[in-house]
Amino acid sequence: MRALYIVLFFLVLYFNGNTQTQWNGKFEQLGEILPTPNSYRTGSGAPGSNYWQQRADYVINAEVNDKTQLLTGSETITYYNNAPESLKFLWLQLDQNIFAGQSIMNQTSTGAVKDSIPASFFGTASGITVTDYKGGYTIKSVKDAAGKNLPYIINNTMMRIDLPAALKTGEKFSFSVDWSYTEYNRQVFDGRGGYEFFPEDGNYVYTFAQWFPRMCVYDDYEGWQNKQFLGQGEFALTFGNYSVKITVPSDHIVGATGTIQNPKSVLTKEQLERYEKAKKTFDAPVFIVTEKEAREKEKTRSEKKVTWEFYAENVRDFAFASSRKFIWDAQAVKVGDKTPLAQSLYPKEGNPLWERESTKAIKNALELYSQRTFEFPYPVAYSIHSAEQGMEYPMICFNGERPKKDGSYSKTTLYDLVQVVVHEVGHNFFPMIVNSDERQWSWMDEGLNTFLEKETVRLRYPELFGTHGTPKGIVPFMRGDKSQMRPIMTSSDDVRPGEFGANAYTKPSAALTVLRETVMGPEIFDKAFKEYAQRWAFKHPGPADFFRSMEDASAVDLDWFWRGWFYTNDNVDVDMAEVKWFKLRSESVDPEKKKLKVKRGDLEAETNGGKGDGNDFSNGPEEFTLLNTPEYLQGEFKSRVDDNAIRQKLDGKNIYQIKFKNVGGLVTPLVIEWTFKDGSKEVERIPAEVWRLNENVITKVFIKDKEVVNILLDPNFELADVEMRNNIFPKKTTTSKFDQFKKNN
C-alpha cells in the first residue's frame, strides 16, 4: 500500500514536470532592467522636472566646387552648456573620416573573395579601397572667438577640443572650425550623401550629408555619446539654430534644411513668382523649374557663382542638395494652422514618376504623421531624387526609385517610390524631432517610423498596401535560425547587416502593429503613442522613456510585451494541442451521497473520459456531470448556491475545452475564430495575461450556444504566429490524395 503511494507521487511529479516546465518570469515587471527613474527622467516615461539638454547653434559658409567635387567650409559653433556639471572639453563628430583609409569601418569590415566577386567589392562593403579617392576631412583650423588656436585631438571619427577654461553650467562657448573634403561617388562608396554623375550630359547631382563637423550629444544618462561611427549605427545630434550660406554655380538649384532667406537673389523673376504661388497652392504642385527648363540648363555651364542662404530653427542637423539638373515642384500642405511647403527636386531621369508622386507623398506623410504625433512644426519638407538613396535629414531627404528609360514603371517601382518618400519624410518626426540616439538604438527611429510609414501607405495608398512592416510580413524572419539572431534591443552596430532591415525596421513595426490592433486597441494605442511623441518632441528619449510612456498613458501592462518582442528572439507559435467538446449530462448528483471529493479550486468536473482520436468533432460531445455544490464548499454563507439555476443555464450548451501550448516562447494574446454549424462565425480575443500562471501550457473553457465545426487561431494573421498548421481544429493530420498529387507533380 505504502509502495503504491510512492509510485503515484512520482507519477504526479513527472506529469507536472511535463506540462509546466520552468517559469521564465515572462510577465515580471522590467523594473530592474530599465534605468532607475530620477528627476531628469521619471518613472512615468516623461521628462522630469530637472530635465535638461544641450544646444548648439551653427553659422556655416560652404562652397561646392562642381569641377573637383571639393566642399570647403568654415563654421562657427556656439555651444550652450545646460548640464548641471562643468565641461573641460567638447566632442565633435567627423563623419567624413569614415572614408579615410584607416578608419575603423575600413579596418573592421569583413568579407570573402570567393570564386568571383563584383569589382565594386573593392571600395564599398569590404572596406578595402583600391580607388584613387582620398576621403576624410582636412581640418585647417580650430579657433576660439578671439581667433586663438584651440588644442584638439582627432580619434578616428571623433574630435576632442580642449577648452581654455571649464565651461560652467549656464555658460556658452563659441569657436570656429575650417575644413574641407572631397565629396565621394556614391556608386562606389556606400554612403548616405555623395554625388551621382550623369555621363550623358556630364552633370552631377550632389546630396551633402554629414558634411560638416557636428557636436556630439552630451546628456544625463550617457555623458558624451562619442561612440565611433562604424557605418551602420547612425547619429546622435544636438538641437540648435542653423544659419547656412552655400555657394554653388549660378545655374544650380539648391534645396536644404530650412527656408531660403534670399530668394530674390538666387531665383529668376519668373521662378520667384512661381515659388510665391506654390506657397498658396494646396491642390497640386506648382512647377518652379519645369523639365523643359532643366533640360536646357543641362547643356551649358555657368562660370558665375551664387550664394544661397538658409535658416533653420531648432533642428538637429543640416543637409543640402545641389544640381543644375533639378526640376523643382512645390505645393503648400495644411497642417493645423501651419502651411509647410512640400517640395521636390529631381533630374529628368526621375520623370514622369517623380512629378506625379513625390510631392503628393510628402503631403500624405506630413498629414498622417501629424495626426498620429504632433503637427509638423517646420516650414518646409523637401524630397530630393538621386539614384539608390533613402536617407533623411531635418526638412530634407534623399530618395531613389526612377522609371525605365522610356518613362514606364511597374507597380512595384511606384510602391517603392511612395514608400521611400513617405518613410524619409516621416523621419522628420523620428528621430529629427523626437530626437533619439540612433548610434545606439536604430529601432527607436526606424521602427517607429516604419510603423507610421506602413500606416500611411495602408490608409492613403490602399491599392499599394502589402505586408511590409506587418505581423504577417515578419513571419519568415521570426521563423528563422535563432542561433545568431539578435533581439531588437541590440546596439545598432552589433546587428548583423543581413538582419538589420528586420531588426531595426520591420520587426519593431510588426510589434507595434500587434500592440495597436490586438493588445491595446487602436484608440488607446494611438493616444499613448501620441503622448510619447509629444512628451519627447524636441528632446532626447531613451528606450525606457518609450516603454514607460506607452504604459503610463494606457493602463495596459506591457512589460511582458517589451520583454518578449524587444529583449528576446522568441516568436509566436501557439499550438492548439487539444480540443474537447462537452455537454451537460441531464442528471443531478448529490456529492455527499456519492462521496466524491470536490475540493475548493478543483475546476475540473467529472467526465466520462475521452472518446475518439481527438482530432475532430466526429465522436460527438463528451458528457459531464454537474455536481451539486457540496456542503463543505458553501463556507460560512447562510444562503446556498442555486445549483439548478446554473444547471439550467448550461443545459444544451456546447462547452469547449482547449489546451494551448506556447511553442514559440513569445507570450501572445489569443485570437480565436469559431465557425458554427450554421455557417456563422465569431472572433474572440483573449489578452496575453492568460499565460501568466503557466507560460507554456494553458487549458481554457468556452461556452457556446451553437455547435462549433471549426476553430481557427489567428485568422487574420495579426499575431505573427509562425506556424499556422497547428492553429486549426479539426486537425488536418493526413494529406489528401489531391494535395499529395499536387506536391509530387
User: Residue 442 Cβ, how far from Zn ion at the closest point, in Å?
Assistant: 9
CB-nearest residue to Zn ion? 446
Comparing CB distances to Zn ion, the nearer of 95 and 446 is 446
Comparing CB distances to Zn ion, the nearer of 196 and 446 is 446
User: Residue 454 Cβ, how far from Zn ion at the closest point, in Å?
Assistant: 12
- Biggest distance spanned by C-alpha atoms of the chain: 109
Please work out, in degrees rounded to the nearest 5, the angle formed at the alpha carbon of residue 182 by the alpha carbons of 180 and 186: 140
Which H, E and C letters describe 279-307, residue by residue?
Answer: CCCCCCCEEEECHHHHHHHHCCCCCCEEE
Comparing CB distances to Zn ion, the nearer of 66 and 446 is 446
Cα separation of 745 and 743, whole Å? 6
Comparing CB distances to Zn ion, the nearer of 277 and 458 is 458
User: Residue 16 Cβ, how far from Zn ion at the closest point, in Å?
Assistant: 48
3-state DSSP assignment of residue 260: strand
Phi, psi of 459 (to 5 degrees): -90, -30
- First vs last C-alpha separation in the chain: 62
Cα separation of 47 and 170, whole Å? 19
- Site membership for Zn ion, residue 416 (CB under 5 A): no
User: Residue 219 Cβ, how far from Zn ion at the closest point, in Å?
Assistant: 22
Cα separation of 520 and 122, whole Å? 49
- The DSSP symbol for 539 reads B
User: Residue 488 Cβ, how far from Zn ion at the closest point, in Å?
Assistant: 15
Which among 114, 142, 137, 271 has a CA at the least distance from the CA of 212?
A: 137
The residue range among 175-183, 439-447, 634-642, 682-690 that interacts with Zn ion, by the rule CB under 5 A, is 439-447
User: Residue 425 Cβ, how far from Zn ion at the closest point, in Å?
Assistant: 11
3-state DSSP assignment of residue 474: helix
Cα separation of 88 and 73, whole Å? 26
Cα separation of 141 and 159, whole Å? 12
- Site membership for Zn ion, residue 446 (CB under 5 A): yes
User: Residue 450 Cβ, how far from Zn ion at the closest point, in Å?
Assistant: 7
Cα separation of 433 and 239, whole Å? 9
Comparing CB distances to Zn ion, the nearer of 93 and 399 is 399
Comparing CB distances to Zn ion, the nearer of 454 and 580 is 454
Comparing CB distances to Zn ion, the nearer of 401 and 446 is 446
User: Residue 426 Cβ, how far from Zn ion at the closest point, in Å?
Assistant: 8
Report whether 340 contacts 282 (CB < 8 A).
Answer: no
User: Residue 657 Cβ, how far from Zn ion at the closest point, in Å?
Assistant: 47
- Site membership for Zn ion, residue 220 (CB under 5 A): no
List all residues 6 or more positions away from 636 whose beta carbon is below 8 Å from its beta carbon: none
Comparing CB distances to Zn ion, the nearer of 183 and 446 is 446
The residue range among 78-86, 398-406, 438-446, 703-711 that interacts with Zn ion, by the rule CB under 5 A, is 438-446
Comparing CB distances to Zn ion, the nearer of 233 and 715 is 233
**Helix and strand totals (H; E) in the chain:** 18, 32
Comparing CB distances to Zn ion, the nearer of 446 and 721 is 446
- The DSSP symbol for 630 reads P
Q: How many residues bind Zn ion (CB under 5 A)?
A: 1
- The Cα-based distances of 309 to 157, 247, 254, 267, 321 in angstroms read 28, 9, 10, 12, 13
For the chain, how many residues are written? 745
The residue range among 334-342, 361-369, 441-449, 581-589 that interacts with Zn ion, by the rule CB under 5 A, is 441-449
Look up cell 507521487; give the residue: 9
The residue range among 443-451, 519-527, 642-650, 664-672 that interacts with Zn ion, by the rule CB under 5 A, is 443-451
User: Residue 341 Cβ, how far from Zn ion at the closest point, in Å?
Assistant: 23
Q: Which residues are at the interface with Zn ion (CB under 5 A)?
A: 446
